[in-house]
Amino acid sequence: MNFRLLILASTLVLGACTTTTVNEHRTNPVGLTLDGSEKVVVLGRRHAGQYETEPDFIDCIGGKLDDNTAVTIVDEGDFIDSLYPWFEPRTAPLRLGRLERMLADPLIAQQVQALGIRYMIWVDGNTETTESDGSISCAVGPGGGGCFGFATWEKASNYEAVIWDIEQLADMGRVKVDAKGSSYLLAVGAPIPFIARVQGEACDGIGTQLRSFFNRKGIASNEDS
């Protein structure tokens, strides 16, 4: 790789970054408490036909919360299977009023209680490619092969998480995250990718904020310490 390509590659490494904005609204500024038996489930909205909130993103948020000793996470798939078909895309409650009517059914209420669910966190949104440019071409010949070209693409992650208190049937807080980033693919012989962690940064931002909402009974929240 010649000197100019080294400069270009170095520039791309610096440029393949992500900008993230996180907004938070708390109904309860003191923090949400959990006792040893109470758990949290993180669920992705999949009611719209155009997209679904990616299961791997839901897993990522669950992992961020599970790192916090104040929170025990119930796996999304296990929760949905246990309450089939009430949390399938066509039947899942989109509003607290709908959830209240569902929980009026003793069978549903007993199953939710058996799972130990105190809080549901609904996550709505997705990550998509918003713009792309350039091209890469590859060829194979008698003396070998290789690729040449340059491509770039922009990705944007937009998610909102809403915390529902099952006991009080109340909206306890919201976190919204917007992340944008540019990725590049430089090919001079072998393709060299410079990938922005757009969805990963969105998960870090929203997961960190959600963790700060919770503390166990008897343990002061960060805001009180």
What are the residues whose beta carbons fall under 8 Å from the beta carbon of 69, sequence distance 6 or more? 216
Give the SS3 label for residue 76.
helix
Confidence of residue 70 (pLDDT cuts 50, 70, 90): confident
Mean of pLDDT over the chain: 83
Gap between the Cα atoms of 149 and 134, Å rounded: 8
In angstroms, the first-to-last Cα distance of the chain is 54
130: Cα separation from own chain's centroid: 18
In contact, 131 and 153? CB cutoff 8 Å = yes
Q: Is residue 224 part of a domain?
A: no
Q: Is residue 112 part of a domain?
A: yes
Structural domain span for residue 179? 3-216
Domain count of the fold of the chain: 1
Kindly state the helix (H) or strand (E) to which residue 198 belongs, with its residue range: helix 198-211
The CATH number of whichever domain residue 58 belongs to comes to 3.30.160
Q: Using the predicted structure, report yes or no on whether residue 34 has a pLDDT greater than 80.
A: yes
Q: Is residue 83 part of a domain?
A: yes
Which of 63, 108, 106 minimizes the C-alpha distance to 85?
A: 108
pTM of the model as a whole: 0.82
What digits encode the pLDDT tens for the residues 87-99?
Answer: 988 889 989 999 9
